[in-house]
């Protein structure tokens, strides 16, 4: 029997010379990866230490759906083998000295693949310009398109890695990544290729969403239906044929696409047997949430202007409401999502960063948890569920997000006394170690 005090890796760097996605080794199938959050500005996330034999994490406190319980967690072949009482046998044992184990965090809504930034819009908003006004003036989503169209896959990967590393440093092991800043066939596909490459360079799981229906590009101004027919839907089919799409998303809003147009996109997704999700009811009430529910969407995201009837529809469909407080904060919105209605109707609520260059330039899931509590009135328990089991559900994943035997050994180990501390602190990262079980898929 081998017994260890678990200590995070200190001062390790990424593979030397890897900047734009070339040269990093693949992650071996079935390993468990542990590394700390010691990434400083300009550094890559540290490469993981590996435990390649059955291991028991003992003297731990386990954050289970029904509360915190002291005990042990056994890991074998990249999965959770047992919880509670340590199993007998020849296991490596690691003493966690009372630290808290939660499921690893999941960021279920991001736009981390993009070119450039939109810092100038920050000043415009401070002067009183609204999101819609900036968009109509040629800013917003469309302003990122030219920078993204001019970037290669290598460029997009290089720009995305620091954002991804910031998430990894907070115990995130699964990240959803959207396209939507290309708005032409070539760039939409290039964005998804870049997203797939990320999981070959970091111990992380990437889930992609095709978001061709994000905005109408300038060259199709006033011709949204033509854009869908000539660019968006063909790009979706081509990306799916290349194995680049895990789900299909859209932006249902007055400045983007109406419900009938989104329905065309969802019909195409259904024909390809792809699940759907939707940016809905962020700025106004357009009927997007009800539309998403009618298609059995994985999630309806933003949902600030959703109604009680929308909450009932989400509940009946089993669709997750993904709350995005970073955009709410950045845009200085006043209408919060109807959390009370979601609770009353049993709607699962997830939280995410919505990391994007305009309305939510945020790369901290811990901050999203705090904002979900302070801005939207979630409890700390709801916030933790929102970045673990409900976030997994929003991605259609059933093999992670909870501490349970048989699930992936994707874990976060924290130097905290209670789970509430994760949402309570601002600008503080108490991660002690991050565990990534299973294999990274090659892009």
Q: What are phi and psi of 310, to 5 degrees?
A: -65, -40
Question: Could you tell me which residues are beta bridge partners of residue 55?
Answer: 75, 92
Task: Answer yes or no: is 114 a known binding residue.
Answer: no
Task: Answer yes or no: is 17 a known binding residue.
Answer: no
> Distance (Å, rounded) from C-alpha 427 to C-alpha 370?
10
Smallest CA-to-CA distance from 323 within 290, 275, 280 is with 280
Task: Answer yes or no: is 358 a known binding residue.
Answer: yes
Count Cβ neighbours within 10 Å for each residue of 57-74 and write b for 16 or more, e otherwise.
bbbbbbbbeeeeeebbbb
Task: Answer yes or no: is 181 a known binding residue.
Answer: yes
- Our measurement of the distance from residue 188's CA atom to the centroid of its chain's CA atoms, rounded to an integer in Å, reads 19
Task: Answer yes or no: is 109 a known binding residue.
Answer: yes
Task: Answer yes or no: is 282 a known binding residue.
Answer: yes
Task: Answer yes or no: is 390 a known binding residue.
Answer: no
Task: Answer yes or no: is 214 a known binding residue.
Answer: yes
Q: State the binding site for Zn(2+).
A: 109, 111, 279, 354
Indicate the annotated binding residues.
Answer: 109, 111, 118, 181, 214, 279, 282, 354, 356, 358-359
Binding-site residues for N-formimidoyl-L-glutamate sit at 181, 356, 358
Cite the annotated binding site for 4-imidazolone-5-propanoate by residue number: 118, 181, 214, 282, 359
Instruction: Pick out the residues of the known binding site for Fe(3+).
Output: 109, 111, 279, 354
């Amino acid at each position: 029997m081998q017994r260890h005090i678990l200590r995070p890796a200190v001062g390790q760097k990424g593979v030397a010379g890897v900047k734009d996605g070339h040269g990093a080794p693949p992650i071996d199938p079935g390993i468990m990866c542990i590394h700390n959050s010691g990434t400083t500005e300009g550094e890559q996330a540290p490469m993981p230490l590996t435990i390649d034999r059955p291991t028991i994490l003992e003297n731990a406190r386990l954050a289970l759906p029904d509360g915190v319980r002291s005990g042990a967690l056994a890991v074998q072949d990249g999965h959770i083998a047992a919880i509670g009482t340590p199993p007998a046998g020849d296991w490596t044992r690691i003493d966690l000295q009372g630290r808290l184990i939660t499921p690893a965090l999941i960021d279920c809504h991001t736009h981390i693949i993009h070119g450039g930034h939109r810092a100038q819009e920050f000043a415009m908003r401070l002067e009183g310009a609204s999101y819609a006004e900036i968009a109509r003036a040629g800013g917003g989503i469309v302003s990122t398109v030219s920078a993204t169209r001019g970037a290669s896959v290598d460029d997009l990967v290089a720009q995305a890695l620091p954002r991804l590393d910031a998430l990894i440093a907070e115990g995130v092991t699964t990240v959803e990544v959207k396209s939507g800043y290309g708005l032409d066939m070539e760039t939409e596909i290039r964005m998804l290729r870049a997203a797939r490459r990320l999981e070959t360079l970091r111990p992380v799981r990437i889930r992609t969403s095709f978001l061709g229906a994000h905005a109408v590009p300038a060259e199709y101004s006033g011709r949204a239906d033509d854009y869908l027919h000539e660019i968006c839907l063909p790009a979706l089919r081509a990306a799916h044929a290349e194995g680049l799409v895990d789900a299909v998303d859209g932006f249902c809003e007055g400045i983007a696409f109406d419900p009938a147009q989104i329905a065309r996109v969802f019909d195409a997704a259904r024909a390809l047997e792809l699940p759907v999700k939707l940016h809905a009811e962020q700025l106004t009430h357009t009927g997007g949430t009800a539309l998403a529910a009618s298609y059995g969407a994985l999630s309806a995201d933003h949902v600030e202007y959703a109604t009680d009837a929308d909450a009932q529809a989400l509940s009946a469909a089993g669709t997750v409401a993904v709350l995005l407080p970073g955009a709410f904060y950045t845009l200085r919105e006043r209408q919060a999502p109807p959390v009370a209605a979601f609770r009353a109707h049993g709607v699962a609520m997830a939280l995410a960063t919505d990391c994007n260059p305009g309305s939510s330039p945020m790369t901290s899931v811990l901050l999203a948890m705090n904002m979900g509590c302070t801005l939207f009135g979630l409890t700390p328990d709801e916030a933790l569920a929102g970045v673990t089991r409900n976030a997994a559900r929003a991605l259609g994943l059933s093999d992670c997000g909870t501490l349970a035997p048989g699930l992936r050994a994707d874990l976060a180990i924290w130097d905290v006394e209670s789970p509430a501390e994760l949402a309570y602190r601002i600008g503080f990262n108490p991660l002690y170690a991050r565990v990534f079980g299973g294999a990274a898929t090659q892009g």
